[in-house]
Amino acid sequence: MFSRRVPAELSPNRIALARERAEVAFDLTAANPTACGIPYPERLLDALADPRGLAYRPDPRGLASAREAVAAECARLGAAVAADHVVLAASTSEAYAFLFKLLCEPGEAVLVPTPSYPLFEHLARVEGVGALPFRLDPAGAWRLDLHELERAPESVRAVVVVHPNNPTGSFVHPDDRAALDALCARRGWALIADEVFLDYPLAGGPGSGESFAASDAGALTFSLGGLSKSVGLPQLKLAWIVARGPAALLAPALARLEFVADAFLSVATPVQLALPALLREGAAVRAAIRRRCEVNLAAARAELAAHPAVALAPPGGGWSAVLRYPAVVGEEELAVELLERDGVAVHPGFFFDFPQDGILVLSLLPSPDLFAEGLRRVLRRIGSHVGAA
């Protein structure tokens, strides 16, 4: 616990260098929906032309109309949220930075899950905060190990969960959520729930579709969302923090969070004014992304039926598929071969700190034809090593 897996003899830049040299025709790492042929409503961005955007009247927490739109979005997910408990940021990365500033003094720490997207350490380090990884259980549907969390050091001030996780797709189990809330309340920790992929259930599972903002919290709790995933608009740079918790903790935390946000005022007025329309009209984009992921996931299942040596871990939600293959070839070597010989880009499992070897992570966003051919090439390349072993 509280350590990261480092592959033996890893050359950190080898995959990046191979990608620079290769002709990548099948990018199965693509995570930008605006570059994956997802259909967008023709007039989706019209609301950005609101002439009120010419006036600058900043609100540290965000314009009231925008925060009310976020509250309505939370209601769609079953969470009754007061607009006064919403704070806007330019991205979820900035939201993390705000919260690390709020919750930690330099030298203190937050607990972050692994496997997960390798961003937390960088964000925490910029704030002078330690990021201590805790393992999700690979043998138990990636559930939390509360006994391990109990042993966290006194320097910890918050726990991060990703619901559903990126890339495992696992949701926080309702039993784990209740136990984690109780642990955070007892230890005086805050709970940060990253819910940017909550709108994309695939296989589902316990906890699917259930926002942390929807339940009474014994601990100070912050739920994160944003346009990047919920409407497939990462370029518009707007995210939100929804705060919950006991009144004695919530009111002063919001006041301090407003102070932090006031130092930056980073969210542009036009996108705040447009937010109600973007969330309303963006439902079509969300549906299109979900359909794309479902189509590619079904194709992967069908293709893998003829390759029993390779397993697809059922993703509860999100945009990723995790493949397990016999570790007769290292992840780095396989990723480089796929780039140089097959024109296919994939993420090796160690990129996300999976605890075992023999993992590839594929995005479910590419066009179906591209995804299907890229996957076939991946499976042929794996087969060439399995057959030679």
Every domain of the chain and the residues it spans:
14-39+284-388, 44-281
The per-residue pLDDT for range 252-271, each reduced to its tens digit, is 999 999 999 999 999 999 99
| pLDDT of 78 above 60 | yes
Q: Mean pLDDT over all residues of the chain? A: 95
Least confident of 205-209, 272-276, 370-374: 205-209
What pLDDT is recorded for position 2? 46
Q: How confident is the model at residue 34 (pLDDT cuts 50, 70, 90)?
A: very high
What pLDDT is recorded for position 302? 97
pLDDT, average across residues 320-348? 97
What is the fold, at CATH topology level, of the domain defined by 14-39+284-388?
A: Aspartate Aminotransferase, domain 1 (3.90.1150)
The per-residue pLDDT for range 100-150, each reduced to its tens digit, is 999 999 999 999 999 999 899 999 999 999 999 999 999 899 999 999 999
**More confident of the two residues 2 and 15:** 15
Residues above pLDDT 70, as percent of the chain: 96
What pLDDT is recorded for position 1? 47
pLDDT, average across residues 15-33? 94
Helices (H) and strands (E) in the chain, counts: 12, 13
**More confident of the two residues 240 and 2:** 240
Contact 310, 382 (CB under 8 A): yes
Contact 166, 116 (CB under 8 A): yes
pLDDT, average across residues 35-46? 97
Output the six-digit token pair for 130: 């330690």
Q: How far is CA 199 from CA 68, 73, 226, in A?
A: 19, 11, 11
Q: Is 131 helix (H, G, I), strand (E, B) or coil?
A: strand
pTM of the predicted protein model? 0.95
What pLDDT is recorded for position 207? 94
pLDDT, average across residues 161-173? 97
Domain 44-281 part of CATH 3.40.640.10: yes
Determine how many CB atoms are found less than 10 A away from the CB of residue 194.
Answer: 28
Strands (E), the chain: 26-27, 86-89, 109-114, 130-135, 156-162, 190-194, 221-226, 239-244, 311-313, 320-324, 344-345, 347-348, 359-363
Closest among 274, 240, 226, 278 to 53, alpha carbons compared: 274
pLDDT, average across residues 282-304? 97
326 class by beta-carbon count within 10 Å (0-12 exposed, 13-18 middle, 19+ buried): middle
pLDDT, average across residues 4-27? 76
Q: How confident is the model at residue 217 (pLDDT cuts 50, 70, 90)?
A: confident
| pLDDT of 3 above 90 | no
What pLDDT is recorded for position 12? 57
Which phi and psi angles does 12 have, rounded to 5°?
Answer: -55, -30
